[in-house]
Amino acid sequence: MRQLTEESLTHAVLAATDTSVDPRTRDVANALIRHLHAFVREIEPSEAEWLKGIEFLTRTGHTCDANRQEFILLSDTLGVSMLVDAINHRRPGNVTESTVLGPFHVHGAPALPMGANLAEGVDGGSPAFVEGRVLDGNGKPIAGARLDVWQVRPDRLYDVQDPEQPSMQLRAVFHTAADGRYRFRTVMPVSYAIPDDGPVGEMLRALGRHPWRPAHIHFIVSAPGHAPVVTHVFVEDDPYLDSDAVFGVKDSLVVAFEERPPGMAPDGAPMETHFHVAHHDFSLSAR
Amino acid sequence: MRQLTEESLTHAVLAATDTSVDPRTRDVANALIRHLHAFVREIEPSEAEWLKGIEFLTRTGHTCDANRQEFILLSDTLGVSMLVDAINHRRPGNVTESTVLGPFHVHGAPALPMGANLAEGVDGGSPAFVEGRVLDGNGKPIAGARLDVWQVRPDRLYDVQDPEQPSMQLRAVFHTAADGRYRFRTVMPVSYAIPDDGPVGEMLRALGRHPWRPAHIHFIVSAPGHAPVVTHVFVEDDPYLDSDAVFGVKDSLVVAFEERPPGMAPDGAPMETHFHVAHHDFSLSAR
């Protein structure tokens, strides 16, 4: 392993992995080495270009903190997150399709009672009522299914992007009733730009791409004995449905948020403004 | 660009790059997307594995600071730095071969007079005298060539790895005399482990690889009208010459450090201990 050349280098690096290591680790590392070297052989970077790449990755790492995950954003915007998602969910049948988790999920959202207002204390936005059922693969309701729900604020920021505001805004966990039903009040989801003041935004601009995501509500739906699903409910007619910055839109996840005039809300409350009503069922596969 | 599948995703991500952007940027980005997706398609990572990858990159970024460049170390240990080097130095003829820059170069090393002691104030180590010439491609001496020299300390750390010690230890810039000659005193270079208390060390352990580099002195040799060379002088007979953790050894860069008994040093000084003498000429190509 000396006097390595453009021709012999890749083989030497692969051969350096010890044969006794965990086979999956070896397979992943050696695939990484092969594909990374193939990339370099194709683009033939100058030394200055390679250093720019190193600096890009370094800034991406430095942009990550407790409230921001720039590498997930990079994976999302390069379509890799949706590819990993597709590979891991080759499920046939009538199970709810999955999409990106994204970088804004937070553990420990408060459990709220059925029908509660997810947007309590949130400024602005048009009221929306979301309801539906969690079903198994045979269309039977699942009681006690867990819905972890999070959503961007009407000002197009997640709570974690705004240290001035209380945490856990527009975040809650709901559990289905015996009939598999869930329902909650919220504000209309809005389209928003992913954080584009860091390296990922710089990359998007260099590629002539916009940073917008179509309006959606995030869900992780889970139930004992079933495979959980990480998914969204997208708002029908959003202008960004066909150019999502993270390639996450599935037709089956696009839902009408029907506008209704002032009057009685689905939960019986009198509404003095227009409001929206959406219905969406989730289906989980048995494990 | 909706309802993307495992089959259609890569094409959609490539198509998102605007056709009006800088062609080199587009080529590099699209090659990155293709190779990254090919890697993911080959290994089919679980979502947990992909997240481990995200976390690895994040920790690698967080390990980088003013004195440590973990992404260069990652590039070095995956053989990518030497591949970029090989691609950029397909020079024929009798020009000095290049090798990795590594993560420990510092700008602004002090200019020292010919013959000075690079290791002034450094504890331990056996004295060594290094001399030679800087030549052009026709073997003619180059006057006023610049040699930027840096070396690990006898305790196997670079100065920047030890905040307790003065900076610019074992770092200097020399210039050749009219006859193209350079010479300096130093201490014997020692083999050392690259920093392995971070993500790169973790990776090396997972691959059953050691972190050692064979003993060497770093040089960047440059002169007006010539292409600079980033290179090393390796010490002959080092046990790690055939398993350099960063794949950087070239036979033409391995030099004998001849041991001499106490007596007169090459610079005329009386030596009371054993010392070493090495000779190495550098050759630069005209630009």
ipTM of the complex: 0.93
Distance, CA of B218 to CA of A68 (rounded, Å): 38
Distance from CA of A107 to the nearest CA of B (A): 16
For residue A206, give the nearest of B25, B39, B79 by CB distance: B25
- Strand pairing report for B229-235 and B254-255: parallel
What DSSP designation does B251 have? G
In this structure, the number of other CB atoms found within 10 A of the CB of residue A166 comes to 9
Nearest to A9 among B50, B75, B86 (CB): B86
Contact (Cβ atoms closer than 8 angstroms) between residue A15 and residue A2: no
Q: What percent of chain B has pLDDT over 70?
A: 100
Q: What is the mean pLDDT of residues A141-164?
A: 95
How many other β-carbons are positioned within 10 Å of the β-carbon of residue A11?
15
User: What does the pLDDT read at residue B164?
Assistant: 86
* Position A237, amino acid: D
pLDDT in tens, B203-219: 999 999 999 999 999 99
Dig out the tokens for B178 from the structure.
């009219």
- What mean pLDDT is predicted for residues A137-164? 94
pLDDT at A92: 65
- Whether the per-residue pLDDT at A13 is higher than 80: the answer is yes
Which range is least confidently modeled, A85-89, B127-131, B161-165?
B161-165
The secondary structure of B137-204, three-state, reads CCCCECCCCEEEEEECCCCCCCHHHCCCCCCCCCEEEEECCCCCEEEEEEECCCCEECCCCCHHHHHH
| CB nearest to A241's CB, from B2, B206, B242 | B2
Residues in chain A within 8 Å Cβ distance of B91: none
With contact defined as beta carbons under 8 Å apart, do A277 and A260 qualify? yes
Cα B147 from Cα B158, distance rounded (Å): 18
Of A20, A61, A249, the CB nearest to B208: A20
The answer to whether residue B251 scores a pLDDT higher than 90 is yes
Interchain proximity B32–A69, CB inside 8 Å: no
Which chain B residues are Cβ-neighbours of A40 within 8 angstroms?
80, 83-84, 87
Q: Is-contact B200 B173, C-beta < 8 A?
A: no
Q: Given an 8 Å threshold on Cβ–Cβ distance, is B71 in contact with A83?
A: no
> What pLDDT band is residue B92 in, cutting at 50, 70 and 90?
low
Check pLDDT > 90 for residue A112. yes
pLDDT of B104: 92
> What pLDDT is attached to residue B67?
85
Could you say which of B2, B36, B242 has the minimum Cβ distance to residue A242?
B2
* B chain contacts of residue A80, beta-carbon cutoff 8 Å: 36-37, 40, 50
A199 pLDDT exceeds 70? Answer: yes
Q: Which of A114-128, A171-185, B85-99, B221-235 has the lowest mean pLDDT?
A: B85-99
Domain borders along chain B are 9-69, 75-283
Chain A: residue nearest B74 by CA?
Answer: A54
Are A25 and B206 within 8 A, CB to CB? yes
In the block, which residue shows the tokens 């921001």? A68
Q: Is the pLDDT of residue B1 over 90?
A: no
Task: For residue A135, list its beta bridge partners.
Answer: A141, A283
Burial class (CB in 10 A: 0-12, 13-18, 19+), B10: buried
Rounded-to-integer distance, Cα B238 and Cα A32, Å: 30
Tell me what pLDDT residue B237 has. 93
- Spatial neighbors of A268 by CB under 8 A, at least 6 apart, are none
Region A44-55 average pLDDT: 97
Strand-pair category, A146-151 with A171-175: antiparallel
Interface A–B counts its CB contacts (< 8 A) at 231
> Using H for helix, E for strand and C for coil, what is the string for B7-23?
CCHHHHHHHHCCCCCCH
The CA distance from A227 to A220, in Å, is: 11
| pLDDT given for residue B93 in this prediction | 72
The CA distance from B14 to the nearest CA of chain A, in Å, is: 9
Asked if A2's CB is within 8 angstroms of B241's CB, the reply is yes
Rounded Cα–Cα distance for residues A247 and B81 (Å): 32
Residues of B in contact with A78 (CB under 8 A): 13, 32-33, 36
Cβ–Cβ gap B247/A85 under 8 Å: no
Task: Kindly report the nearest CA distance between residue B272 and chain A, in angstroms.
Answer: 36
Q: Looking at the predicted structure, is the pLDDT value of residue A263 above 90?
A: yes
Quote the pLDDT of residue A287: 84
Per-residue pLDDT of A222-249, as tens digits, reads: 999 999 999 999 999 999 999 999 999 9
Would you call A21 and B206 a contact, using CB atoms and an 8 Å cutoff?
Answer: yes
The C-alpha atoms of residue B4 and residue A251 are separated, in whole angstroms, by 10
- Give the residue-averaged pLDDT of B76-93: 91
The CATH architecture that domain A94-284 belongs to is Sandwich (2.60)
Whole-number pLDDT of residue A67: 85
Cβ count near B246 (within 10 Å): 23
Q: Alpha-carbon distance A234 to A241, whole Å?
A: 8
Query: Both tokens of residue B161?
Result: 């790895």
What top-level class would CATH report for the domain B75-283?
mainly beta
Q: Report the distance separating Cα B222 and Cα B229, nearest Å.
A: 7
Of A36, A208, A244, the CB nearest to B80: A36
Distance CA(A102)–CA(B50), nearest Å, equals 13
- Structure tokens, B203: 């990776």
Please judge whether A208 and B251 are an interchain contact, meaning their C-beta atoms are less than 8 angstroms apart.
Answer: no
User: From the candidates B28, B44, B70, which should be mutated to test the interface with A, based on the most A CB atoms within 10 A?
Assistant: B28
Residue B270 CA to residue B114 CA, distance in Å, equals 18
Q: How far is A115 from chain B, CA to nearest CA, in Å? A: 31
Check if the beta carbon of residue A192 is closer than 8 Å to that of residue A232.
no
- pLDDT tens profile A55-79: 999 999 999 998 899 999 999 999 9
Is the pLDDT confidence value at A272 over 70?
Answer: yes
Average pLDDT over residues A129-158: 96
What percent of chain B is predicted at pLDDT more than 90? Answer: 91
Residue-wise pLDDT for B17-58, tens only, equals 999 999 999 999 999 999 999 999 999 999 999 999 999 999
Handedness of CA B264, B270, B274, B275 (dihedral sign): negative
| Tokens standing for residue B251 | 């036979």
Please report, as a single letter, which amino acid is at residue A81: S
Torsions phi, psi of B133, nearest 5? Answer: -135, 160
Judge residue B287's burial from the number of C-beta atoms within 10 Å of its C-beta, 0-12 exposed, 13-18 middle, 19 or more buried: exposed
pLDDT of A96 above 90: yes
Task: Look up residue A272 and give its two tokens.
Answer: 């003095």
pLDDT mean over B278-287: 94
